[in-house]
A and B are shown apart, each in its own frame.
Chain A
């Protein structure tokens, strides 16, 4: 089983809709979780951290489900500019410096 798994998509979603996707991780001891965004042919950039209690940043909500070992990202009122690949990132355990990236979920917002 891969350390971090994501549905590659593509998710084609109409503008204004709500979309959510998940990322599963295999190591139950994993401590820290993040969502990165990568635009086509660009470098990844941090979108948001994922906290145990869940967190929001504007239209974006990230949640962690430790029992089922997955994190989720929900985007409300999607914009054309949200079109990108969303990468799930996991730090396997506390003090580990090797961030593990998922393969990414590709999202396209349709006008």
Chain B
């Protein structure tokens, strides 16, 4: 049972570089989310999607972009990486938003130097 798979698990970027965090789920969930978690802090919502072709901003979308061309995949793009984007990124999915049960990937630890 793969669940939610994120890649890469670790990455170091230089300031100004760009990269894409990949997220795929095999549970046929409509809802997918990207969160970031800074040390000692809770999770902050970056972007979310309620289905293929539909995305919306969360609490901290600046500096990021997403797309949802299929139900399974929800990549997060970082353009012009900045030190403030150093964080752990979690992708999650759920069958319905209201269920409250999110299934998370193992996280991607990103450092921008």
Contact = CB atoms under 8 A, between A and B. Distances in A.
27 contacts: A8-B40, A31-B98, A32-B98, A32-B100, A33-B100, A34-B100, A34-B101, A42-B106, A42-B107, A43-B104, A44-B90, A45-B104, A46-B101, A49-B100, A91-B97, A91-B98, A94-B98, A95-B97, A97-B50, A97-B98, A98-B58, A98-B59, A99-B45, A99-B102, A103-B40, A103-B42, A104-B42
A96 interface: yes
Contacts of B33: 99
A73 interface: no
Contact of B41 (A34, A49, A94, A103): A103
Given A44-B90, A99-B100, 9 more contacts: A32-B100, A42-B107, A95-B97, A98-B45, A98-B97, A99-B97, A101-B42, A102-B42, A103-B41
B97 A44 contact: no
A104 B90 CA distance: 16
B74 interface: no
Interface in B50-85: 50, 58-59
A62 interface: no
Contacts of A101: 35, 42-44
A87 interface: yes
B30 to A, nearest CB: 10
Contacts of B106: 42-43
In the complex, which range does the number of interface residues on chain A fall in? 20 to 34
Interface in B10-43: 31, 33, 35, 40-43
Contacts of A104: 42
A89 interface: yes
A101 B33 CA distance: 13
Nearest to B101: A46
A73 to B, nearest CB: 15
Contacts of B100: 32-34, 46, 49, 89, 91, 99
Contacts of B105: 43
Contacts of A49: 100
A97 B97 contact: yes
